[in-house]
Chain A
Amino acid sequence: MDTMLSAKGLSKSFKHFKALDDLSFDINKGQVYGFLGQNGAGKSTTMRLLLGLIFPDAGSVYISGQLLSKNNRNLLKNVGAIIERPDLYGYLSGRDNLKIFALLSHANLKSTRLDEVFEIVGLKGRENDLVSSYSQGMKQRLGLAIAIVHNPDILILDEPTNGLDPQGIADMRALIRSLNADHNKTILISSHLIYEIEQVASSMLIIHKGKKLIEGNVKQLLNANDTLTNFQIQSDAHLLAALNNSTWAPFLQASTTESLSFKMDPEKIPSLNNWLVANKVAVKSINSIHSLEQYFLNITHDSTAKN
């Protein structure tokens, strides 16, 4: 499979702070690759390195198999990006902004391309307004328009749903899926929310304090069978004995007379709940969380607590 974007042993420090430590990954053609990490984990630093905005202390970036540092200008023709918030020229219209960045991309664009892109990102009708009058969500959409106007094969999107309302988030997700499925774009998308990545990405990497923690296929990593479901109950010791002799025993992770934890597919929750009720257990609440999500939350919580 063709590797479109590749990081090999990237390290970067800012003064005494090590922002990135020996990070490597490959993104194949047609993949949507999720880049997950809490704020300050090193996501934006990585994306800046991938675009040549900052220079690595060690390691290399390859785009379409070619070393970025040797052929920066040509390779970036095939890349579109949003880095952090899309800051634009507020004193110019949306159309002027898009036109400027389209020209800078050296693409031979049809005269209708700008209108087509405004249509795609949902800014049709507002393209001639000054960008200073745009909401954060509209700026985000214009940022995406700038990233895709020259029809690049690779998109690097740093938290593209930031600042969007729920409808905007849903639209952005649908757009990212469509860019991948219908236009075969290879997409690197970062987020600090596992749910965001789960919604759009096929593979993902979790980064923490500049280091890779885990990488793999999203479906495998977020296997439904790895979901932990916690039941808050009111019961007695007889229940625990009954449970250990039931078909639910293999899924049981922890048990007390007030709480039960199961590792299983969430689809099984209604059946288990029925079984508990049939065994005269008062179920007070049910709470499910994926083990990877729990792992990610624990990391975040630990760091927050230390800070």
Chain B
Amino acid sequence: MIALLKIELYKIFKRPRTYISFGIIAAISFVIQLAMVSDGKTFVGFALQGITDQFDIHGTILNGYLIAYIILQSLLIHIPLLVALVAGDALAGEAGAGTLRLLLTKPISRVQIVLTKFLASFIYSLLLIIWLALVALALSLLLFGKGDLINLKSDTVIILLSNDIMWRYALAFLFAALAMTTIASLAIFLSSFAQNSIGPIISTMGIVIVFTLLSNLELPLFNLIKPYLFTTHVIGWKGFFEDPVPYSLIAKSATILLLYTVGFITATLVYFNQKDIKS
């Protein structure tokens, strides 16, 4: 299984398209950081407009923690799409290229193939999140330094002290990795039906976009289904930037994401195990 995983990772990281995602994350982070270097003070002034009338705010508001938080807010919607690029290709790409039938003539079980593809996609998602942590957090801290983080919500202002933030980022990135694994398992599930990777990649993106819209629309009908949509829980990482941290809500979101992941992988195993390989 480990040898199989090594081979899978070798194949993934030998393909130029794998690095597109890392490039996109770096590009978006750099653009936001550049914009903040040149015009960050105006942005912060605008964002705090409502509260500076009532409060006297001192200190380095425009700091690395805030920039990283802004980058995460903008990127964690897009990263699922980048995860789909690789995970959606996992089985369908091999089927489309004709290599799946060659793989299956070797003494490897179909269960092993699916699990290896899933593990490889998990590692890829994890690396994307680590890369995001490096370019969004580490680089922002390097460029803007440390400071207290002001988290503006619709009805509250949360101020997190500088020495109370790093652990929150660590847990938020860990949670994001779990959320991306759920997306990867959805993409692999869709990938098991297809003969080329375009279909599952676009379908995964479509499902994520539609479900995200449903999760964010404040309509009574959608409020009923929201708690069951995985997209509602994908943004559970934000809980770590509240005070106090709503651990029970975060744990509930993590459990739902985990259940979705197990569900998608089990469904993939059941379907793929009896699928005729005709490509």
Chain A interfacial positions (CB closer than 8 Å to B) = 14, 48, 51-55, 72-77, 79-81, 83-92, 96, 100-101, 103-106, 146
Contacts of A92 in B (CB 8 A): 11, 14
Shortest Cβ distance from A213 into chain B, in angstroms? 24
* Residue in B7, B15, B107, B109 whose CB lies within 8 Å of A100: B7
Contacts of A105 in B (CB 8 A): 106-107
Contacts of B105 in A (CB 8 A): 51, 53, 76, 79-81, 83
Contacts of A77 in B (CB 8 A): 107
Contacts of B255 in A (CB 8 A): none
Contact of B99 with A88 in the complex, beta carbons under 8 Å: yes
Contacts of A106 in B (CB 8 A): 107
Name the CB-closest residue of B to A103.
Answer: B3
- Say whether B97 faces chain A, with CB atoms less than 8 Å apart: yes
**Distance of A79 Cα from B104 Cα, bound (Å):** 12
Contact of B106 with A104 in the complex, beta carbons under 8 Å: yes
Contacts of A79 in B (CB 8 A): 105
**Distance of A89 Cα from B16 Cα, bound (Å):** 13
Contact of B104 with A52 in the complex, beta carbons under 8 Å: yes
Name the CB-closest residue of A to B4.
Answer: A104
- Say whether B47 faces chain A, with CB atoms less than 8 Å apart: no
**Distance of A239 Cα from B278 Cα, bound (Å):** 59
Contacts of B104 in A (CB 8 A): 51-53
**Distance of A88 Cα from B97 Cα, bound (Å):** 7
Contacts of A75 in B (CB 8 A): 107
**Distance of A82 Cα from B255 Cα, bound (Å):** 45
Known contacts: A53-B277, A55-B276. The answer to whether A86 contacts B102 by CB under 8 A is yes
**Distance of A76 Cα from B107 Cα, bound (Å):** 5
Contact of A74 with B107 in the complex, beta carbons under 8 Å: yes
Contact of A89 with B11 in the complex, beta carbons under 8 Å: yes
Taken residue by residue from 113 to 143, chain B's Cβ proximity to chain A (1 for < 8 Å, 0 otherwise) reads as: 0000000000000000000000000000000
Within 8 A of A (CB), among B1-38: 3-4, 7, 10-11, 14-16
* Residue in A14, A54, A73, A91 whose CB lies within 8 Å of B108: A73
Contacts of A73 in B (CB 8 A): 107-109
- Say whether B98 faces chain A, with CB atoms less than 8 Å apart: yes
Within 8 A of A (CB), among B90-104: 97-99, 101-104
**Distance of A51 Cα from B100 Cα, bound (Å):** 13
Contacts of B108 in A (CB 8 A): 73, 104
Count: A-B pairs, CB below 8 Å? 76
Interface residues on B, range: 20 to 34
- Say whether B274 faces chain A, with CB atoms less than 8 Å apart: yes
Contact of B102 with A146 in the complex, beta carbons under 8 Å: yes
Contacts of B3 in A (CB 8 A): 103
Shortest Cβ distance from A25 into chain B, in angstroms? 20
Contact of B102 with A87 in the complex, beta carbons under 8 Å: yes
Contacts of B7 in A (CB 8 A): 100, 103-104
Contacts of B97 in A (CB 8 A): 87, 89-90
A–B pairs, 24, beta carbons within 8 Å = A48-B101, A48-B278, A51-B104, A53-B101, A53-B104, A53-B276, A54-B276, A73-B108, A73-B109, A74-B107, A77-B107, A79-B105, A81-B102, A81-B105, A84-B98, A87-B98, A87-B99, A87-B101, A91-B16, A100-B7, A100-B10, A101-B102, A103-B3, A104-B108
**Distance of A86 Cα from B103 Cα, bound (Å):** 11
* Residue in B103, B274, B278 whose CB lies within 8 Å of A104: B103
Contacts of B278 in A (CB 8 A): 14, 48, 54
Name the CB-closest residue of B to A12.
Answer: B276
Shortest Cβ distance from B277 into chain A, in angstroms? 4
**Distance of A101 Cα from B276 Cα, bound (Å):** 21
**Distance of A75 Cα from B108 Cα, bound (Å):** 11
Shortest Cβ distance from A82 into chain B, in angstroms? 9
Contact of A101 with B11 in the complex, beta carbons under 8 Å: no
Contacts of B277 in A (CB 8 A): 48, 53-54
**Distance of A90 Cα from B94 Cα, bound (Å):** 12
**Distance of A170 Cα from B16 Cα, bound (Å):** 38
Name the CB-closest residue of A to B15.
Answer: A91
**Distance of A89 Cα from B97 Cα, bound (Å):** 8
Contact of A85 with B98 in the complex, beta carbons under 8 Å: yes
**Distance of A14 Cα from B277 Cα, bound (Å):** 12
Name the CB-closest residue of A to B3.
Answer: A103
Taken residue by residue from 197 to 210, chain B's Cβ proximity to chain A (1 for < 8 Å, 0 otherwise) reads as: 00000000000000
Shortest Cβ distance from B222 into chain A, in angstroms? 39
